Amino acid sequence: MSSLKSSGLRIKELQVEYKSGQLALGQMNLNLPEHAIYTVIGPSGSGKSTLLRAIAGLLPGYDGELLFNGKSVHDKDTLIGLVPQNYGLLPWKTVRDNIRIAMRIARPGSGGRAEQEAQISQWLMSMGIADLAGRYPLSLSGGQQQRVAIARAFAILPTILLLDEPFSALDAITREGLQQIFIDNWQAHPATTLFVTHDVEEAILLGQKIIVMPSGKQDVPEIIDNSAVFGMKHEAKRESGAYFEQSKVIRKVMMEKW
Ligand SMILES: Nc1ncnc2c1ncn2[C@@H]1O[C@H](COP(=O)(O)OP(=O)(O)OP(=O)(O)O)[C@@H](O)[C@H]1O
Ligand SMILES: [Mg+2]
């Protein structure tokens, strides 16, 4: 196999069954090139969160192979940032501490204290939550917690970034603003990214390709090229003909697969 072919995240015949014996994710194959971003949509229960958990190493087991640049994705060289569906913040730590702890675990011994504090402030500022640094997660709204979780995931500068419906708790306008902030941050630090959303519009606005998960576990995901929309300036996407055409394509696939 050429090195080019094995570069990035490679998902080979991944299949997950939980203890109950129920199939949570049917056979999945995917090549996600390094520094690419693909979005994942699918009906509730189609295994989107399970896919991210498998990659993040949070499942006791799975069938198949998960490789990054030819080595197991769970190898210590591969740093994985996950924004879980329930935010995953430590409730007894402040916002700033949540981010600091993640940075220390991810990259022990890197950078001085002052530098690290400045970086935390910068990430909080980029997500528009600088004023929440001293607050505790449970005193924040769902949308604010989501923003903390996203700031934390970016702050560790992960090799692979996994986001599980990170904007689901946000109103439409805040969400649009954060999509722009997210894509700006991602372009500055293009981790190899899988972005799960239940929102078709968001999938088209953010992904180079769109993975449409089937509802039937025997069926395979459909992978749709989205480079025409992805190549445009973010502000122009929503109003474009390419976006409109892509919405029609995706809805047709959804009608068949869901
Ligand atoms: N811890 C668990 N134990 C047993 N079954 C589980 C567990 N977590 C998920 N499942 C089952 O696995 C299947 C896939 O769940 P998963 O959470 O991955 O779906 P999803 O696509 O993320 O759904 P949603 O859009 O609602 O978040 C579902 O049938 C679910 O009931
Ligand atoms: Mg889920």
- Please answer whether residues 208 and 202 qualify as being in contact, where contact means their C-beta atoms are separated by less than 8 angstroms: no
State which of 15, 18, 39, 217 you would mutate to test the pocket of ligand 1, scoring each by most atoms of that ligand within 8 A of its C-beta.
18
| Coil vs helix vs strand at 258 | coil
- Please answer whether residues 40 and 163 qualify as being in contact, where contact means their C-beta atoms are separated by less than 8 angstroms: no
The two tokens of residue 70 are 């030819």
Spell out the domains of the chain, with CATH numbers in brackets: 1-78+159-248 (3.40.50.300), 90-158 (no CATH)
pLDDT given for residue 258 in this prediction: 87
Spatial separation of the C-alpha atoms in residues 258 and 245, rounded to whole Å: 20
State which of 16, 19, 41, 49 you would mutate to test the pocket of ligand 1, scoring each by most atoms of that ligand within 8 A of its C-beta.
49
The two tokens of residue 41 are 């949509």
The two tokens of residue 37 are 């971003």
pLDDT given for residue 2 in this prediction: 44
- Is the Cβ atom of 47 under 6 angstroms away from ligand 1? yes
Helices (DSSP H) in 65-158: which residue ranges? Answer: 95-106, 113-126, 142-155
Q: Record the pTM.
A: 0.95
pLDDT given for residue 5 in this prediction: 54
Mean pLDDT of the chain: 94
- Is the Cβ atom of 92 under 6 angstroms away from ligand 1? no
